[in-house]
Amino acid sequence: QSALTQPPSASGSPGQSVTISCTGTSSDLAGHNSVSWYQQHPGKAPKLMIFEVSKRPSGVPDRFSGSKSGNTASLTVSGLQAEDEADYYCCSSAGSHYVFGTGTKVTVL
């Protein structure tokens, strides 16, 4: 099972929006709605930002939104803030197991 494909990096200025893509196959993303997104700051544990494609856990700002179309999921961060600078990972069910994306480093310019 290969990792889901994410762009290595993305960037934006404060206040702008950035969208991260996550591409999979018919065995994972296209066939399941159990898609999550995680934010990870250096030296910290990953933090769940989005689950079930577009749902936000309690406490996650509504600046974070998720969507999915076919075999591609997306995370959009609107109104970028300095604290949004981090690594972001997608994760999808692949039936009997899960697979993570390759990770995207978001830089706030």
Answer yes or no whether residue 88 interacts with other proteins by CB under 8 A. no
Sign of CA dihedral 53, 48, 15, 105: negative
Q: CB atoms < 10 A from the CB of 7, how many?
A: 15
Smallest distance, Å, CB 91 to other proteins? 7
- Please give the radius of gyration of the chain, using alpha carbons only, rounded to the nearest integer: 13
Q: Which stretch binds other proteins (CB under 8 A): 23-31, 69-77, 78-86, 94-102?
A: 94-102
Helix (H) or strand (E) holding 35, with range, is: strand 35-40
Residue for token digits 């591409």?
23
| Listed ranges 13-21, 47-55, 60-68, 71-79: which one lies at the site for other proteins (CB under 8 A) | 47-55
Applying CB under 8 A, among 20, 24, 28, 38 the residue interacting with other proteins is 38
Residues 67-86 that bind other proteins (CB under 8 A): none
- Residue number, 1 or 107, with CB nearest to other proteins: 1
Residues that bind other proteins (CB under 8 A): 1, 3, 36, 38, 45-48, 51, 57, 89, 91, 96-103
